[in-house]
């Protein structure tokens, strides 16, 4: 009887300790959040106080055009196997002729490396 009473007492104290830890973590998270919020408001206020700068950007990068992704590579290799012209392949896929020629060279080199007896 006294053993079960001790077990219940330990269980109760463990649950209370867990609840206290949970509440202290919640309080710490709340205070940290408030500190970050104040810091962000201060930075926002300082940013609004800065004078506006109306200068042209020094460098505006051109958007990257899509190159040979995996789908286009597969399509190019299929068209190549059908003996289509390199210019036609490049036009159909919307890439440069040099990219198609490079793909062909890389494909031939990798095929030669995989199967040296074929050459």
**Residues 22-73: tens digit of each pLDDT:** 999 999 999 999 999 999 999 999 888 887 766 666 777 776 666 667 888 8
pTM: 0.42
pLDDT 10s digits, 76-112: 889 989 999 999 999 998 888 898 899 889 888 888 8
Q: Give the DSSP H or E segment for 30.
A: helix 2-49
Burial class of 68 by CB neighbour count within 10 A (0 to 12, 13 to 18, 19+): middle
Determine phi and psi for 100, rounding to 5 degrees: -65, -40
pLDDT 10s digits, 62-72: 766 666 678 88
């Amino acid at each position: 009887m006294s053993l079960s009473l001790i077990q219940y007492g330990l269980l109760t104290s463990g649950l209370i300790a867990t609840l206290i830890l949970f509440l202290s973590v919640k309080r710490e998270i709340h205070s940290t959040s408030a500190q970050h919020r104040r810091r962000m408001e201060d930075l926002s206020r300082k940013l609004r106080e800065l004078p506006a700068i109306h200068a042209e950007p020094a460098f505006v990068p051109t958007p990257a055009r899509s190159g040979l992704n995996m789908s286009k590579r597969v399509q190019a290799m299929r068209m190549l196997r059908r003996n289509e012209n390199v210019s036609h392949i490049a036009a159909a896929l919307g890439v440069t002729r040099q990219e198609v020629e490079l793909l062909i060279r890389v494909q031939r080199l990798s095929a030669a490396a995989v199967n040296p007896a074929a050459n």
